[in-house]
Amino acid sequence: MQLRRISRLALLLCLTLVSCLPALAQDAPVKHGRKYKAPPATSHIEVTVLKKFNGKPISNAAVIFDATMDGKDQGNLEVKTDPDGKAMIDIIPTGSTVRVQVIATGFATYAEEYQVTEPSREITISMIHPQEQVSSYQDNEGKAATRKPGVQEPIRPTPPATKPATPAPAPQTTPQQPPPNTSDTTPKQ
């Protein structure tokens, strides 16, 4: 009888232990998959593109954002300006270096790097007409532009125009009269 009692007690103890295992397992940390990493804080950047000579906005200009953070490329994105000349982006990580490049038809391309450390940044860009190209192989300091702004075409020397050869005037000839006839075949009387 005592054996039955021990076996019942052992069975009861086993059932209690088995029923408590799921509760104990919930408290243990689960290490499945990757640890969640919150995305970095982002900054709101608003770029306004204007014409320098009259201050009016340029619509449909391409504004390219190229971000790098700690030497790692964060990607780039192109946004077109609206009719007010504004382009906005909200996904640039705070603390990154952003190269802003603006391309607009009829204007010189603009590019500048900005350090984005604040949560919101406004940038105003005044676009100018294309200027003469400069060379990194020669000193361009203090040189005045010798060509007008606009599309830069190479200056090609033109050969001096040659005058077409005029034909020599033909010698003037007067109608010749037949020489007087010395032999007269008519009989003389």
Neighbours of 49 (CB within 10 A): 25
pLDDT-derived band at 124, boundaries 50, 70, 90: very high
Nearest Cα residue to 67 out of 96, 31, 105, 110:
96
Neighbours of 98 (CB within 10 A): 23
CB–CB of 110/77 below 8 Å?
Answer: no
Residue 153 has pLDDT above 90, yes or no: no
pLDDT in the model for residue 186: 54
Output the CA torsion 169→171→172→176 (10° steps).
-160
- Band (pLDDT 50/70/90 cuts) for residue 7 is confident
Mean pLDDT of the 136-153 span? 59
- For the whole model, what pTM was predicted? 0.55
Q: Is the pLDDT of residue 31 over 90?
A: no
- DSSP conformational letter for 57: B
pLDDT at 68: 93
| Whole-number pLDDT of residue 163 | 62
Cβ–Cβ < 8 Å for 62, 49: no
Task: Please give the Cα distance from 147 to 60 (Å, whole number).
Answer: 29
Task: Give the span between the Cα atoms of 111 and 95, in whole angstroms.
Answer: 19
How big is the chain, counted in residues?
A: 189
